């Protein structure tokens, strides 16, 4: 897998913005389910030219979803993986900084 297949999208929520504004920067990404921590750190290094210090991952289970069709079929949203990448003190990803 290449770096663009590993990191799917950044997560820009209120909680991730607070983590990004701290002294030690933490960035949150939606990543491929099959990617491990080492692959995620290498992908961040390749895409954003920074050296991450650590990476924490978690699998977010899909929520139940009801359909409004006649059959009232129930389903689930997709399960996905989230990665929180910690940078060294003073490093930051300028492409994701909110002005």
In this structure, what CATH number is given to the domain that contains residue 10? 3.30.70.330
Neighbouring C-beta atoms of residue 84, cutoff 10 Å:
17
* 46-76 confidence digits (pLDDT tens): 999 999 999 999 999 999 887 776 666 778 8
> Is the four-CA dihedral 43, 47, 53, 57 of positive or negative sign?
negative
Count of domains in the chain? Answer: 1
- Here the tokens at position 76 are 């689930």
Integer CA distances (angstroms), 14 to 11, 17, 18, 93, in order: 9, 5, 6, 17
pTM: 0.86
Would the pLDDT of 34 be above 80? Answer: yes
In a domain, 82, yes or no: yes
Of residues 99 and 50, which shows the higher confidence score?
50
Q: What percent of the chain has pLDDT over 90?
A: 61
**Residue 18 forms part of a structural domain:** yes
Give domain status of residue 9, yes or no. Answer: yes
Neighbours of 6 (CB within 10 A): 22
Domain that holds residue 10: 3-90
Mean pLDDT on 31-56: 95
pLDDT digits (tens, 9 = 90+) for 10-20: 999 999 989 98
């Amino acid at each position: 897998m290449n770096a663009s297949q590993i990191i799917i999208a950044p997560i820009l929520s209120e909680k991730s913005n607070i983590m990004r504004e701290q002294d030690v920067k933490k960035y949150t990404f939606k990543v491929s389910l099959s990617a491990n921590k080492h692959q995620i750190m290498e992908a961040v290094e390749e895409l954003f030219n920074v050296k991450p210090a650590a990476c924490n991952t978690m699998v977010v289970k899909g929520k139940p979803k009801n359909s409004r069709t006649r059959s009232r079929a129930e389903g689930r949203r997709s399960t996905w993986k989230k990665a929180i990448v910690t940078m060294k003190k003073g490093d930051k990803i300028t492409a994701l900084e909110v002005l």
